[in-house]
Structure 1
């Protein structure tokens, strides 16, 4: 009520402030405008912003989780690759050892066969030499007998 009395009271014009009914009316308009803006604009925008922040935080958490999973998978694949490389190197070493063993066996077999063939050839040559020597000795004996017979006959 005192505001109304002040609004109705005559105020000298030309002062720094004019106190009339417009001040409370402006205050009511500001409060009403604030209420309307809050209910019509700020709450929906705030809800959209909160939803967006929730989506972003959820997406960020999912991304972190997926990144951790990718890192775990990468580590697992790296370990598997390392194991496969080691297995391949072991297989190569084993294959080289097997080839070396087979080479040595083949070489030993070839040497044995060569020695056996050489020994057999030596025996055959020795037998032929002895046969030839025996033949020559028989021919020498025969020739000696013929020479002796011719000398005795002459």
Structure 2
């Protein structure tokens, strides 16, 4: 027990951990004052800048979404137009092939008709020349026969 009494009589040393003189309220005032100064000088402008950037990012995202939706609509429209153009081109190709085939068949038919007409004309000419030649041969044969008969009769 004496040790407790000695400790109580000795008192507390100055400058300890919980020294409650005027420095604690002064430090509290300094901290509050420094907080207000830092808030006014640094934190509000930085906060405004951060809010502006957040607003810019939000508007940029909204614009990007709108542009993406517009690009997707345009892509769908272009795909539809491309599909229609391909179908139209396919129709034109089929029509051109049919037209070419028809023209080929018409030209072939015309060539065949022309060829048949030329062949028929040539056949008629050949027939005419053959008949003329046969007539001439018969005439020559008659003349030759008459000549032979005359020479045979003259030789007797």
TM-score interval for Structure 1 and Structure 2 normalised by the shorter chain: 0.7 to 0.9
Secondary structure, aligned partner of 1:93: helix
1-structure distance, mates of 2:134, 2:19: 162
Does structure 1 residue 13 correspond to structure 2 residue 8? no
More moved, 106-115 vs 80-89: 80-89
| 1:96-111 matched pairs, under 5 angstroms | 96-111=97-112
How many residue pairs get aligned? The number is 144
TM-score of the aligned structures, taking structure 2 as reference length: 0.77
TM-score (norm 1): 0.78
- Report what 1:124 is aligned to: 125
Measure, in 1, the Cα distance between the counterparts of 2:12 and 2:141. Answer: 179
Match in the other structure for 1:35: 36
| Unmatched segments (≥5 aa) in structure 1 | 1-10
| 88-97 vs 110-119, which moves further | 88-97
Give, in whole Å, the separation in 2 of the partners of 1:92 and 1:141.
71
CA shift at 1:152, angstroms?
Answer: 5.3
Unpaired runs of 5+ residues, structure 2, are 1-10
- Within a 5 Å distance, the mapping from 1:54-93 to structure 2 comes to 54-93=55-94
1:129 Cα deviation from its structure 2 partner: 0.8
